[in-house]
Structure 1
Amino acid sequence: MENKNLQIATFAGGCFWCTEAVFLRIDGVERVVSGYTGGQIKNPAYREICTGRTGHAEGIQIFFDDDKVSYTELLEIFFATHDPTTLNRQGHDVGTQYRSAIFYNSESQKQQAEAFIRLLEKEKVFDSPIVTEVTELGPFYVAEDDHQSYYDRNREASYCQFVIDPKINKIKTYYGNKLKENTSKDAI
């Protein structure tokens, strides 16, 4: 078995079911964990996060092999698969728990994230200003088991069909060369 030196990226881009489903399909991503970060209380539960009062965002931690996919490539996919211009919302999901955020764990990640946002702004990729926060990673609390791999276990659910399927189609269209081998051939 290979001994890989995995890196960790932590993003929040709305509902973690969506961001997890996207990044699980990227070649070089070994594992994605849904959870909560950026808030004020210890060990929050989903029902508390849903109130928006804890300050936590629904986020994911991506464990990736940077020999196969770089942090910058992950940033590109992150910005392409959610709306970083809406404050505390993604589509019908509204509240601070759905904010757009990058939680960096090194000065290098912070610099890369800030530089990427500056580039997107300079190139006017979005019609509105980017509101994605770039914040140092604090405690990350793993979400309950029923939130892990949610999309893959619940593809028939209407939320998955109407909200997540279009994101999966988008990465298949624009990032087909970055997908894991078995993902690019699979139906949604």
Structure 2
Amino acid sequence: MKTSRYILFIPVIVLAGITASFSFPKNGNHSKQPKKKASDMNEKAEYDTATFGEGCFWCSEAIFSELKGVKKAISGYSGGTVKNPSYREVCTGKTGHAECVQVIYNPKSISYPELLKVFWQTHDPTTLNRQGHDVGTQYRSVIFYHNERQKELAEEYKQKLNSAGIWNNPIVTEITKFEAFYPAENYHQDYYENNTNQPYCQLVITPKLEKFRKVFKDKLK
């Protein structure tokens, strides 16, 4: 049950400095792709995928979907042992999955380090298996990397944040290899957009989005 009211925004100047320290090619995390004639192949070459778990996926989807360069943010489950789990099953904590958001983005418009900045800026990565009042392994802080470059960037960013001493406690964010992503049920998709007046949205997501929009106003669509 989602009752969390926790809202976290760490000093922007610290994260900005850390993000700026990363070097990556102008066309994102990939080497230059050859031109392809088929439109579907062009689209595949144009977009990349990132997968993050930072507590309630309703919040994560609402945040990442507003970023320039993000084509789609999909709520779902990753990191568990059960194929095609249901929301009810994941909520038991027995499937091993985390609520997460799969981000389809254009690395020419927004880089992976910039996505990491949003990830660490919009939740508390020092609380183990919880975000506010949302408690359980399904609410753990986790980055599912899709390739070695994503792994390297995530580990380096985590180390720099820990070294900067931004939080009193160490970061507990898992950095683990992506295996599978299962989209959540249809009613979870675009949840905030479709349920803006719902109490959880009003009390938790709206205030979080308002702060996010102020901090990342230059990155919004």
TM-score (norm 1): 0.93
Aligned residue type for 1:81: T
Residue from 135, 150, 164 that aligns with 1:109: 150
Q: Does 1:171 align with 2:208?
A: no
Partner of 2:98: 57
In 2, the alpha carbon distance for the partners of 1:155 and 1:126 equals 32
Percent identity over the alignment is 53
SS in 2 for 1:108: helix
Partner of 1:35: 76
Q: CA RMSD in A?
A: 1.2
Q: How do residues 29-178 of structure 1 correspond to structure 2 at under 5 angstroms? A: 29-178=70-219
Q: Gaps (5+ residues) in structure 1?
A: 181-188
In 2, the alpha carbon distance for the partners of 1:147 and 1:14 equals 14
Query: Looking at CA atoms only, which structure, 1 or 2, has the larger radius of gyration?
Result: 2
SS in 2 for 1:22: helix
In 1, the alpha carbon distance for the partners of 2:61 and 2:148 equals 24
Q: Gaps (5+ residues) in structure 2?
A: 1-38
In 2, the alpha carbon distance for the partners of 1:16 and 1:104 equals 18
Q: Which moved more, 1:155-164 or 1:23-32?
A: 155-164
The count of corresponding residues between Structure 1 and Structure 2 is 180
In 2, the alpha carbon distance for the partners of 1:69 and 1:92 equals 32
- Are the aligned partners of 1:81 and 1:170 in contact in 2 as well (CA < 8 Å)? no
Aligned residue type for 1:78: F
Deviation of residue 166 (structure 1)?
2.0
In 1, the alpha carbon distance for the partners of 2:119 and 2:206 equals 16
Give the ranges of 4+ consecutive aligned residues of structure 1 lying more than 3 Å apart after TM superposition.
1-4
